[in-house]
Amino acid sequence: MRTNRLRARLLAGKPSSGHFVNIPSPAAVEFMGWLGFDFVIIDCEHGIADYETAEHMIRAAEAAGITPMVRIGLNMQQHIQRYLDGGAQGVQIPLVNSGAEAQSVVASVKYPPQGRRGLATTRASGFGRAHPSMKEYVEIANRETLVCVQIETEKGIENADDIVATEGVDIIFLGPSDLSQAFGLHGQTTHPKVVETIGMLTKKALAAGKQVGTIAASPEAFKHWNDVGAKYLCGNVMWFMASGAQAYMDGIKGLRD
């Protein structure tokens, strides 16, 4: 298993930029790497990539030197384990509403004694041949694999102290869209109540020694949240594709009419 470059950046206090990729495209992942982004989140919650495609997307990330995270819709060991066995260097689990649920994520990601992940000669372990011993592989995997949980519901906010205190959780991700929905403000991600809640949860997470992540869809937003202390900052590859395409279409509109 390779050194996790994203983990190293976060531990060094460096802001890191990535993108959700919710289209089943290894090329999109690879392109983000060549552009210089630090990580991708292969979105298997809202995206439609199957296991095999996700594994190819992980390979593309490795080829381009970008850390592959995978957002997984189910907090279940067998589900989480398959993406890790395919080579993901971290998982991001949405809708975590309690300390117990956060502990379950950690247990699914970590090999014993820290967790309950099953051990096999999979791609992640070099099919059992990439390391001097499976024991060393387990030690590296337990150290390098990132655990990210999302707080994005009223229940999660209520139990935030327990969630951020969970040993083994590396990153607390604060999802503006679902938080806005929790407050009945569907899609109003810049509403003061949403922004204030993200700020409050950021302080709690940082005080507990966790990294913090959220959406930063513009350089201005990136600067704001970086200044606040959030270092795991991301956009969405489709936003940027749409933005670039729309700017082009706007620029040639007069020529086409």
Q: How far is 223 from 228, CA to CA, in rounded Å?
A: 9
For residues 217, 46, 193, 204, the Cα torsion angle rounded to the nearest 10 degrees is -90
Would you list the DSSP string of 86-121? TT-SEEEE----SHHHHHHHHHHHSPTTT------S
Q: Catalytic annotation on 46?
A: yes
Token duo for residue 59 = 């390979």
* Residue (of 65, 64, 31, 70) closest to 51 by Cα position: 70
* Residue (of 65, 13, 3) closest to 36 by Cα position: 65
Strands (E), the chain: 16-21, 39-44, 67-72, 90-93, 146-151, 171-174, 211-215, 232-236
Catalytic residue among 19, 46, 131, 224: 46
Burial (Cβ within 10 Å: 0-12, 13-18, ≥19) of residue 150? buried
Which residues does the annotation mark as catalytic?
46
